[in-house]
Amino acid sequence: MRSIFRRSLLVSGLGFLTLTAHAQTTAKTDSVNIRKIYDEALLHGQSYENLRYLTGRIGGRLSGSPQAQLAVDWGKVTMEKLGLDRVYLQEVMVPHWVRGAKEKGEIKPAKGKGISMNICALGGSVGTGGKLRAGVVEVKTWAELAALPADKVKGKFVFFNRPMNPVHIETGKAYGEAGDQRRNGAVEAARRGAAGALVRSLSLAHDDFPHTGAMRYDEAVTKVPAAALSTNGADELSQLLKADPGLTFELEMSCETLPEVKSYNVVGEIKGSKYPGEIIAVGGHLDSWDLAQGAHDDGTGCVQSMEVLRLLRATGLKPERTVRAVLFMNEENGVRGGTRYAELARAANEKHLAAMESDGGGFTPRGFNIEAPAATVQRIQQWQPLLRPYFSGLFSAGHAGTDIGPLKDQANALIGYDCDSQRYFDIHHTAADTFDKVNRRELELGGASMASLIYLLSKYGL
Amino acid sequence: MRSIFRRSLLVSGLGFLTLTAHAQTTAKTDSVNIRKIYDEALLHGQSYENLRYLTGRIGGRLSGSPQAQLAVDWGKVTMEKLGLDRVYLQEVMVPHWVRGAKEKGEIKPAKGKGISMNICALGGSVGTGGKLRAGVVEVKTWAELAALPADKVKGKFVFFNRPMNPVHIETGKAYGEAGDQRRNGAVEAARRGAAGALVRSLSLAHDDFPHTGAMRYDEAVTKVPAAALSTNGADELSQLLKADPGLTFELEMSCETLPEVKSYNVVGEIKGSKYPGEIIAVGGHLDSWDLAQGAHDDGTGCVQSMEVLRLLRATGLKPERTVRAVLFMNEENGVRGGTRYAELARAANEKHLAAMESDGGGFTPRGFNIEAPAATVQRIQQWQPLLRPYFSGLFSAGHAGTDIGPLKDQANALIGYDCDSQRYFDIHHTAADTFDKVNRRELELGGASMASLIYLLSKYGL
């Protein structure tokens, strides 16, 4: 299916010199048009004010929540104001997990007063059904857990305390390496008969914020509650355990999973002037964890994706291929929106030239990660020089994104917007993921670099 | 003087193949050693905790202030703890301007109540001697000022309201273009008989922080007071002037210039194991404006420069050339420390292989700006591939820094540490330049990239 879109600029009836002159003119035009996109973004960008509304007026918007529905309504209205060719919703059923009113953790030393801990339930966890008090056994690896005698685990909290590795320059790599504790901690602890799981927050910062995030159960294994400790809290618990291995932990969480809820992806599009059947999708996820405002995760990706359409409109750069912004629902705990989008595209026999995602925060751009055959990656890399003046010219092969992942077999290329990653995991899935952490210029520059690559894709195809 | 240090790796008695094999082994060793530097910085970096102390315990430290002296003492003690070969002070006389207790601005409309404005004196301004109330005339360019009839300027405040241009990707370029208003506004206004100057803050953010910074007088022209308005305040004043051109502005500032004070550069060095007479200096400026803590400007440059020495020590990478960290005094309002350093180096007949400066904030590294003959720039650019895995491989020709500027004729290369510039001018010279704006990883990565290039310089020379 991919080959039908391949058109090489180099395969041409023109002679070499003519082609070179033509290529030069083309590069000049592209350079001028990309400058127009950046000027518009830096002078009149609307991402930042859109994000202020989404984060400040709607706030955290976990799938199934009333705020998620408000966000859908807001996304639709905001796109309708852009004067697009089409704005519509895609219905999708989503999980509905709620945190509930009670969320408390306390270390109970063998002697002396309890020590209150900042904790939060991991997303999808069962509640504790009142207070759950148990001993604690600390592990750093799955091998350590496997090696523990049964009586050391049974009825205890397994405390997963492997830190993210700070030596990785890409923080995402450290996140990837440590994330198995959060996702699988509860089920693996329960398999050994544990009462629950306490997980060190996935963060490279040393602070008091617990980080939530998705975890999973296995229907064949008892569901035990799972909570995150802040990095400081995890260090403290580890320290206390050394001196007082008999301490207990008291956890109380009233979170629960309610019946699924009908929700929506929000879609807006500009029809391609020459090849309307060739689609370039660009999106972020509209849902966010409930602890904060979902600013960098992923309000920024949503407002940038809508801004791509606005920038193309405002600069008068009519795309030859169809450009579609998608606000995906339920990336955080199910990827139902991304899955549904791909299903509907397949059912409608839609042809995706490319799908782009912004879900690494709204930080200073670096470039893009491209998931495609090597030849396609190289073809896209030819455009690097056009983005280098904007410090956005680093196009690498790599994982593109979660919401566009289900399109893998339907798109010539999946493209992840890549930006500076140093601060992202400090605030990711915490109460600190708020609007004030987003810098206006960094955000608008990101939208401009996304729009620039999409302009090129829409002009030249793949 | 430069040529004596030139040694080309390519001019060698070895045959091509041998050289290539040698070069490969060398590149491998360098790559491993640079990885060691980064590991040490990311696992055990001390910049962040040093900065916490400098900003939190000492705070703003304008030249001549008691805090500046505390910072000198701190710098010396901190370097002494590193076990260097030599730590010493360089005496230098510095200006001593003080803000004083009174600093108020108010718009007085023709009718109705006064509107209080966030203002601050520009550094070096004379005071108002009580309240100074006058009409306001707004200009955006020097040509507009020159074209005004004398009676429109005489006895008024000239309001310089040309914003920084947001379309520049490099914020420093926008700063450079707008900075003439702050530096020369008062003297040019006074030349036309004005009573004072009000200057729009040099910032790309829209907020309520006034930005201070250096301004100058001409001894032949009456010294009139100069204050900065926040960007929001400047917009408001401009708007009000349109409706009410007869409004007045009341300014009260008790700032003054006191007699010069003895102060110091703080210097620490590791002697080169093979070529101790060839010096690589690396520095930031120890003084800062008084409104805040001087975190990004330039506490970060100071702690990074000291960290370069610590990283070389901790990794056991004994430099073949002498590496010297310099905490320069008085960059902000006089560059006396930088000037003095170069004078003393010349007097002692010291040979500077290179001088590096970090004074663009402690943000995510990009690379370096190199001020040197083209051949030297190219030679340094050969090392780009070694820093690219750390996103610090962008080595460009460009302005290197203010404090090392006086070394221009004495060093083979001046090198400016280059980092992401998007947020810098939001907080530059304001009360918002505080420790919490600095990200630990971004800061430590910067020190590591500086240390890596210095390791290469110390090994290969220039």
Q: What is the pLDDT of residue A117?
A: 98
Q: Is the pLDDT score of A25 beyond 90?
A: no
Q: Considering the candidates B103, B252, B278, B331, report the single residue annotated as catalytic.
A: B331
Nearest residue in chain B measured CA to CA from A391: B169
Contact B426 A445 (CB under 8 A): no
> Quick one: pLDDT at residue B70?
98
CA nearest to A48, candidates A336, A442, A367: A442
pLDDT one-digit tens code per residue, A318-368: 999 999 999 999 999 999 999 999 999 999 999 999 999 999 999 999 999
pLDDT, position A22: 72
What is the least distance, in Å, from the CA of A333 to any CA of chain B? Answer: 29
Kindly tell me if the per-residue pLDDT of A107 is higher than 60: yes
3-state DSSP of chain B: CCHHHCCCCCCCCCCHHHHHHHHHHHHHHHHHHHHHHHHHHHHHCCHHHHHHHHHHHHCCCCCCCHHHHHHHHHHHHHHHCCCCCEEEEEEEEEEEEECCCCEEEEEECCCCCCEEECEEECECCCCCCCEEEEEEEEECCHHHHHHCCHHHHCCCEEEECCCCCCCCCCHHHHHHHHHHHHHHHHHHHHHCCCCEEEEECCCCCCCCCCCCCECCCCCCCCCCCEEEECHHHHHHHHHHHHHCCCCEEEEEECCEEEEEEEEEEEEEEECCCCEEEEEEEEEEECCCCCCCCCHHHHHHHHHHHHHHHHHHHHHCCCCCEEEEEEEECCCCCCCHHHHHHHHHHHHCCCEEEEEEECCCCCCCEEEEEEECCHHHHHHHHCCHHHHHHHCCCEEEECCCCCCCHHHCCCEEEEEEEEECCCCHHHHCCCCCCCHHHCCHHHHHHHHHHHHHHHHHHHHHCC
Give the model's confidence band at A274: pLDDT under 50 very low, under 70 low, under 90 confident, else very high. very high
Q: Which of A364, A427, A442 to mutate to test the interface with B (most CBs of B within 10 A)?
A: A364
Report the pLDDT averaged over residues A272-290: 98
Domain pair A22-96+259-460 / A100-254, same fold? no
In chain B, what are the domain boundaries? 3-95+259-460, 100-254
A-contacting residues of B 342-371, CB under 8 Å?
Answer: 364, 366
Is the domain defined by A100-254 classed in CATH 3.50.30.30? Answer: yes
Model ipTM over 0.90 = yes
Closest chain B residue by Cα to residue A169: B390
Mean pLDDT over A83-102 rounds to 98
| Cross-chain Cβ contact B391/A423 below 8 Å | no
Mean of pLDDT over chain B? 95
Residue A27: the pLDDT is 82
Put simply, the answer to whether B366 touches A204 (Cβ < 8 Å) is no
Among A331, A350, A371, A444, which one carries the catalytic annotation? Answer: A331
Mean pLDDT of A13-21: 49
Enclosing H/E stretch for A261 = strand A256-270
Q: Any CB–CB contact under 8 A between A166 and chain B?
A: yes
Residue A331 falls in the annotated catalytic set: yes
Instruction: Say which residues have a Cβ less than 8 Å from residue A1's Cβ, sequence separation at least 6.
Output: A351, A409, A410
Average pLDDT over residues A160-188: 98
Give domain A22-96+259-460's CATH superfamily: Zn peptidases (3.40.630.10)
Q: What is the pLDDT of residue B110?
A: 92
Chain B contact set for A439 (CB, 8 A): 422-423, 426
Rounded CA gap, A298 and A287, in Å? 8
Mean pLDDT of A60-70: 98
The minimum CA-CA distance between B413 and chain A, rounded to whole Å, is 24
How much is the pLDDT for A10?
A: 36
In the predicted structure, residue A440 carries a pLDDT above the cut 60: yes
Mutate to test the interface with A, among B44, B170, B203, B364 (most CBs of A within 10 A): B364
- Find, in chain A, the residue whose alpha carbon is nearest to that of B41: A167
Question: Distance, in angstroms, between B349 CA and closest chain A CA?
Answer: 41
Can you list the residues of chain B whose pLDDT is less than 70?
1-20
CB A327 within 8 A of CB A266: yes
Q: What is the pLDDT of residue B52?
A: 98
Which residue in B has a C-alpha nearest to residue A445's C-alpha?
Answer: B169
Q: What is the CATH T-level fold of the domain B3-95+259-460, as seen in this structure?
A: Aminopeptidase (3.40.630)
Can you read off the two tokens belonging to residue B134?
């006058």
Q: What is the pLDDT of residue B19?
A: 52
Asked if the Cβ–Cβ distance from B42 to A167 is below 8 Å, we say yes
By the 8 A CB rule, do B256 and B100 touch? yes
> Looking at chain A from residue 241 to 280, which residues have their Cβ under 8 Å from any Cβ of chain B?
none
Q: Name the residue with tokens 């600013």.
A: A295
pLDDT at A287 over 90: yes
Q: How many CB pairs under 8 A join A and B?
A: 56
- Supply the pLDDT for residue A341: 98
Residue A9 CA to residue A24 CA, distance in Å, equals 13
Interface of B with A in 33-52 (CB under 8 A): 38-39, 42-43
Whether the predicted pLDDT of A6 surpasses 80: no
Q: pLDDT per residue over B424-438, tens digit each?
A: 999 999 999 999 999
Collapsing DSSP to helix, strand or coil, A416 comes out as strand
Per-residue confidence (pLDDT) for residue A374, from 0 to 100: 98
Per-residue confidence band for A23, with pLDDT thresholds at 50, 70 and 90: confident
What average pLDDT score do residues A374-384 get? 98
Whether A38 and B442 lie within 8 Å, measured CB to CB: no
Per-residue pLDDT, A19? 52
